[in-house]
Chain A
């Protein structure tokens, strides 16, 4: 095990830590799943309220988006974990983990969905209004079904980022996959094997996510385009 010269690759090293890494992966999946789902809900709902130009809500949403898009995610995580307790709000690392992902991904998704909804040709909305649809029904039956299809590629981007950004939780010592791997590395110094292993895991999961998104895109594509 003691090395006097060049680095010797030791694939068995990763296998000897599979248990810990598996637990880390489960935590990564847990906060990512909540984070992605939450970011989607926040994005669709606030994006819709923005596209519908609901007063006050629209300005507040704008402010939320600007704050979370224009500050580093790491700063947001630090704020939630290290600064809030001074204001009497102590969140666990797990809560900060999924909440920061929801807030960060939500801000991007608001913009993704707003852009998608606003890209729906005004003629469709005017036509539906002329046919007697109330504003909300016109949105729900015309703008939403068309808009989410337009927004899908950029939403996929954001969702993938939310998943990968779960690795930022190393900053608050939440033992997800990356934190687990770096902890093992800091004691055992097998840098190469460990980072290749977790890199492959992230790559595979993101690739699957992207594949899934693309098949959704194809499945719901409107023949002849929008």
Chain B
């Protein structure tokens, strides 16, 4: 019921945003039809098309998903629409394409989209194929445990079995930083979740963004632990496309200056407690995010 109401509110918010002006503030954010100068020219190929093609997630609430009305919604969708309003003066000048973790980079490299804005964290391997914009969010690894679990932090896991998914940041971090933890890794989130519910591990270690959503849907579970292995999320542009990278970074800096990202995050995530957990992981005036240097995980 609460989720449905939240979805409805999100729709209302989006409609209001699309109608323009109603959320007021800086005045240049609406759909008045006048492009906003971000300090650097819009790349010619995007300008000539008259719209920005963005690859987004359609199954990852609250970042990018399809709402009950069948429309794209979420934190990242709001950012994509903001880009369109900067570029063309209207939030509707954006073409959203659903992408997955596996196909988002090919979508970009084959020119089907101009920008990846799809829960993608920075890795040196990816940075060899695409260029990353400045980070706009940062996730970390936390723990999902049953409501009545004595586990409250990573330290409580010493010597215990922990459910993970294969190759995840959580799995890599645990194997490097907590060698006395015995991992039970699964291929899918759903399998790992079932295993946790059947008490086959003391906790399920995974990206906090995913766990927050799982905890919201499974009221017998809760998220604990301080955030480990911080991994900033970046948008992706084609390798060597300097004009696009410069424009997106400038637009992002403008959003940061307007505190747009924090405003939209609060709109996408209603839970005040969750908002507070993530506040430091959003670029705000005076709080810029950075990519880690080097590829090794820090314990």
Interface residues of A (CB under 8 A from B): 2, 4, 82, 85, 90, 93, 170-173, 182-183, 186-187, 189
Instruction: Contact check, A187 vs B172: say whether CB atoms are below 8 A apart.
Output: yes
The smallest beta-carbon distance between A7 and chain B, in angstroms, is 13
Instruction: Contact check, B195 vs A173: say whether CB atoms are below 8 A apart.
Output: yes
Distance between Cα atoms of A187 and B200 in the complex (Å): 23
User: What are 10 A-B pairs with beta-carbon distances under 8 A?
Assistant: A2-B295, A82-B194, A170-B187, A173-B184, A173-B195, A183-B166, A186-B166, A187-B171, A187-B175, A189-B125
Distance between Cα atoms of A170 and B191 in the complex (Å): 12
Chain B residues positioned under 8 Å from A189 (CB to CB): 125
Answer yes or no: B186 CB below 8 A from chain A CBs.
yes
Majority secondary structure of chain A interface residues (helix, strand, loop or mixed): helix
A interface footprint on B230-257 (CB within 8 Å = 1, 0 otherwise): 0000000000000000000000000000
The smallest beta-carbon distance between B243 and chain A, in angstroms, is 25
Answer yes or no: B292 CB below 8 A from chain A CBs.
no
Majority secondary structure of chain B interface residues (helix, strand, loop or mixed): mixed
Distance between Cα atoms of A9 and B199 in the complex (Å): 41
Residues in B159-213 with C-beta less than 8 Å from chain A: 166-167, 171-172, 175, 184-187, 191, 194-195, 198-200
Q: How many residues of B contact A (CB 8 A)?
A: 19
Answer yes or no: B128 CB below 8 A from chain A CBs.
yes
Instruction: Contact check, B194 vs A187: say whether CB atoms are below 8 A apart.
Output: no
Most central of A85, A93, A173, A187 by chain B CB within 10 Å: A173
The smallest beta-carbon distance between B285 and chain A, in angstroms, is 36
Distance between Cα atoms of A4 and B129 in the complex (Å): 10
Instruction: Contact check, B198 vs A182: say whether CB atoms are below 8 A apart.
Output: no
Chain B residues positioned under 8 Å from A170 (CB to CB): 187
Distance between Cα atoms of A183 and B166 in the complex (Å): 6
Chain A residues positioned under 8 Å from B186 (CB to CB): 172-173
Instruction: Contact check, A171 vs B187: say whether CB atoms are below 8 A apart.
Output: yes
Chain A residues positioned under 8 Å from B187 (CB to CB): 170-171
Chain A residues positioned under 8 Å from B200 (CB to CB): 93
The smallest beta-carbon distance between A181 and chain B, in angstroms, is 11
Distance between Cα atoms of A82 and B198 in the complex (Å): 8
| Closest B residue, CB atoms, query A174 | B184
* Known contacts A82-B194, A82-B198; A2/B175 CB under 8 A: no
| Cβ 8 A contact of B198, one of A2, A85, A183, A187 | A85
**7 more A-B contacts (CB under 8 A) besides A4-B128, A173-B185, A173-B195?**
A90-B198, A90-B199, A93-B200, A173-B186, A182-B166, A183-B185, A187-B167
Distance between Cα atoms of A186 and B165 in the complex (Å): 10
Answer yes or no: B101 CB below 8 A from chain A CBs.
no
Give the 4 A-B residue pairs with the shortest CB-CB distance, closest first: A186-B167, A85-B198, A186-B166, A173-B184
Distance between Cα atoms of A82 and B124 in the complex (Å): 36
| Closest B residue, CB atoms, query A189 | B125
